[in-house]
Copies of this chain bind each other. A is one copy, B any other.
């Protein structure tokens, strides 16, 4: 079997024009841009918890990096560098080749250099750390939502959860819908361009990406900003025909793995946001508003404007 060093060289060494020094030394060396802050985040994906055993390695490589880039998107940071630590039960060339293809497809799509990492033997576990940059003081933070703000979400929340249910045989979807849902689950597109535009045009107050579920992640904005929200289920994208409406709503509100952005913005910016949606060819849904903190942090209104009970708190690994 080739050695650890040989494997790294073969599958994970690509040019790193954005680094002073890439893989192969004790550390990578990076030259941060003047006038910028660094945004940094790390996410660990474990087989059996975050992805099913037997997941296609190319899709896994894409997704493991993409979910991290989604955190940069939620801050409005420009992705620049990534590191990958991985534990593998065995070093199979075929698997590694496909996995690294997925990683580099995503890295190249979003302009990231893979500058370092670590490989070791153990149960399958993939841990990316990604770094991005943004001008000092301009980050889209969770704690900046203000009463009166509109609440927005991008894209198609719920598709990934429907894709998972479809894979697990819990739901039957028509072919075209199944394909979209599986793509959302397996090859999510982090909303990097949206985050950059929201930040540079100063369109958003607070933002977060949807990894645990729309309502669960919205709650983080509410908690950190000490505000409440009213959400109208009817204002979310229309639920697909031929799917049980309660199930579809559950996926939209509580499904994880979407990697859409939820953000708050002044009502005065609605036209600009509509224009941005058109520019990016990405729908933006105004699905609620921020209100003063109250006993009820989150009020969900059904299609008739009646308050609904909230089920589905989102995914919490130790909950």
Contact = CB atoms under 8 A, between A and B. Distances in A.
Contact of A41 (B27, B43, B49, B86): B27
A12 to B, nearest CB: 13
User: Among the interface residues A7, A118, A131, A143, which one has the most CB atoms of the partner chain B within 10 A?
Assistant: A118
B120 A27 contact: no
A307 to B, nearest CB: 25
A119 B315 CA distance: 13
Interface stretch (A102-110, A121-129, A148-156, A248-256): A121-129
Nearest to A209: B26
Given A132-B27, A136-B31, A317-B4, A49 B121 contact: yes
Given A44-B87, A318-B7, A122 B120 contact: no
A39 B119 CA distance: 19
A115 B39 CA distance: 11
Contacts of A120: 44, 46, 49-50, 317
Given A21-B141, A25-B75, A143-B25, A37 B42 contact: no
Contacts of A4: 316-319
A177 interface: no
B75 A42 contact: no
Nearest to A313: B3
Contacts of A38: 29-32, 38
A132 to B, nearest CB: 7
A115 B75 contact: no
B5 A316 contact: yes
A154 to B, nearest CB: 14
A190 to B, nearest CB: 11
Interface size class of A (residues with CB under 8 A): 35 or more
Contacts of A111: none
A41 B28 contact: yes
Contacts of A39: 26-29
A14 to B, nearest CB: 17
8 shortest interchain CB distances as A-B pairs? A46-B122, A27-B39, A26-B74, A44-B85, A32-B32, A123-B123, A26-B71, A27-B41
A83 interface: yes
A115 B129 CA distance: 13
Nearest to A90: B318
A91 B30 CA distance: 35
Contacts of A41: 26-28, 83, 116
Contact of A25 (B28, B125, B141): B141
Interface in A215-248: 224
A24 B318 contact: no
A24 B129 contact: no
A139 interface: yes
